Amino acid sequence: MDDGNPARTRIQRRNRKAILEAALEVFSAQGFRGATLDQIAAEAGLSKPNLLYYFASKEAIHAELLAGLLDIWLAPLRELDPAGAPQAEILRYVRRKLEMSRAMPRESRLFANEMLQGAPRLAEALPGLKALVDEKAGVIRAWSEAGRLAPVDPHHLIFAIWALTQHYADFEVQVRAVLGPGHDPYDEAGAFLDLLFARLLRV
Amino acid sequence: MDDGNPARTRIQRRNRKAILEAALEVFSAQGFRGATLDQIAAEAGLSKPNLLYYFASKEAIHAELLAGLLDIWLAPLRELDPAGAPQAEILRYVRRKLEMSRAMPRESRLFANEMLQGAPRLAEALPGLKALVDEKAGVIRAWSEAGRLAPVDPHHLIFAIWALTQHYADFEVQVRAVLGPGHDPYDEAGAFLDLLFARLLRV
DNA sequence: CTGCAATCTGACCATACGGTCAGAAAAGGA
DNA sequence: TCCTTTTCTGACCGTATGGTCAGATTGCAG
């Protein structure tokens, strides 16, 4: 019941989906240890034993959430196209990443929680992450060396994009508290980041 | 025993300090719910009942840590000097903030944990935070309008500084995993951020 | 040294939590 | 309909955890 392949019956599909949705809600808001099976079960509209009928353990639910997460999270970076226009490609990446923070703040916070704790349940995925980043860093470096982009450390450029976009999801309370009502943080951030990266990368 | 004024006896000073140090270690690594009094007591070299002789509850320890944190954390921003040279002032702020991430990564993660959970125990401090940020945003806006700084949204500039500097502490595992061995993330970040903000703010 | 206050401890308690299990209820195919 | 499989539940268990307490131990002023 805790395997990765798609659930067979209609009921299984519905309930597994409800559980993962509920778990995302609770895990992202409370962290792994802070979340309880009772909370998740209540949020999913199921009883706790029934929840454990679909997933072997709390760990298993969390693991399944994380498993899907990295792929989704890194998809925009994967699409960075070496054949595209350097500045446009990076700006497009920034915008897509910011859009993900807006549309999936819970996923962002789930990821942040995991990283804050030292990525104990994501450690094995880190080498793959490094490989992808190194590859794309190579693309960016080549653009710089070809004079199509201002010279810049590609790894830290990528870190900067992550930090700046995820910040709006992970620290949303703070951002909203500081801006006060009547602001759309993500809209403003979009404009600001366009400007920032344009100035940073202009040859 | 859980009041704010300085402990009287030598033993109290020593043990309260040890407890807060241990609690910072554990809370920042595990989050509030993830941390246990036993862990903190062990880390501090005290028994759990003895720990509770000095602090009324787990909450009280956490509260005392947070109480001191915001002040320390915002000190560099407070020092942003309206009478200084705009670019130099902001670059100095960035460097000091990055230095804090390097020297106090646990404090950074404690703060991040709190924000991720929606700042339940810091909510009352947010208005004061907004006031400070608004004040400094005013300074930056004035610099921009006087043509001494490239035009830029001051609030989001401050968010950017927070995001970029704290990222290296909060996501340290990820940063190190991606860079691989033989890198000093903070040294490299220092150079990168100097460049970034110089290009962003140049008139 | 004496006696009081400060410090510390082992034993204990109540609750919360992850997880189990026997069996009831519902689905679904024949 | 009948029968098998899937889905679901109430009751329960063991452990972890925050916290209490009576009393032992230690520090220290006189």
- Does the beta-carbon distance from B163 to A152 stay under 8 Å? no
pLDDT digits (tens, 9 = 90+) for B27-78: 999 999 999 999 999 999 999 999 999 999 999 999 999 999 999 999 999 9
The pLDDT score that the predictor gives to residue A6 is 57
Residue B6 beta carbon within 7 A of nucleic strand C: no
Dist. CA B155–CA B153, nearest whole Å: 6
- Does the beta-carbon distance from A112 to B116 stay under 8 Å? yes
Report chain B residues whose CB lies below 8 A from the CB of A158.
178
In chain A, whose CA is at the least distance from the CA of B106? A116
The pLDDT score that the predictor gives to residue A42 is 98
Q: Name residue A58's amino acid.
A: K
Q: How many angstroms is C1' of D2 away from CA of B150? A: 81
The pLDDT score that the predictor gives to residue B6 is 56
> Residue B80 pLDDT more than 90?
yes
Q: How many angstroms is C1' of D4 away from CA of A13? A: 21
E-strand spans in chain A? none
Contact between A197 and A143 (Cβ < 8 Å):
no
> Residue B1 pLDDT more than 70?
no
DSSP annotation string for B106-160: HHHHHHHHHHHTT-TTTGGGHHHHHHHHHHHHHHHHHHHHTTSS----HHHHHHH
Dist. CA A2–CA A16, nearest whole Å: 10
Report chain B residues whose CB lies below 8 A from the CB of A166.
163
Widest CA span of chain A, in angstroms?
61
Residue A106: partners with Cβ closer than 8 Å, 6 or more residues away: A24, A25, A28, A29
Report chain B residues whose CB lies below 8 A from the CB of A29.
117-118
Report chain A residues whose CB lies below 8 A from the CB of B109.
116
In chain B, whose CA is at the least distance from the CA of A167? B163
* Exposure string over B121-152, b if 16+ CB within 10 A, otherwise e: bbeebbeebbebbeebbebbbebbeeeebbeb
Dist. CA B76–CA B104, nearest whole Å: 14
* pTM for the model: 0.94
Tell whether ipTM is more than 0.85. Answer: yes
Each residue's pLDDT, cut to its tens digit, for chain A (203 residues) gives 434 455 578 899 999 999 999 999 999 999 999 999 999 999 999 999 999 999 999 999 999 999 999 999 999 999 999 999 999 999 999 999 999 999 999 999 999 999 999 999 999 999 999 999 999 999 999 999 999 999 999 999 999 999 999 999 999 999 999 999 999 999 999 999 999 999 999 98
Which H or E element spans position A32?
helix A10-34
pLDDT digits (tens, 9 = 90+) for A55-96: 999 999 999 999 999 999 999 999 999 999 999 999 999 999
Please, what is the average pLDDT of chain B? 95
Mean pLDDT across the stretch B186-190? 98
> Residue B4 pLDDT more than 60?
no
- Nearest nucleotide from residue B59 CA, by C1' atom: D18
% of chain B with per-residue pLDDT over 70: 97
> Residue B102 pLDDT more than 90?
yes
Contact between B155 and A187 (Cβ < 8 Å):
no
The pLDDT score that the predictor gives to residue A23 is 98
Q: How many angstroms is C1' of D14 away from CA of B21? A: 33
Q: Which tokens in the block code for residue A125? A: 């995925």
Which residue in the set A109, A157, A159 is minimally distant from B116, CB to CB?
A109
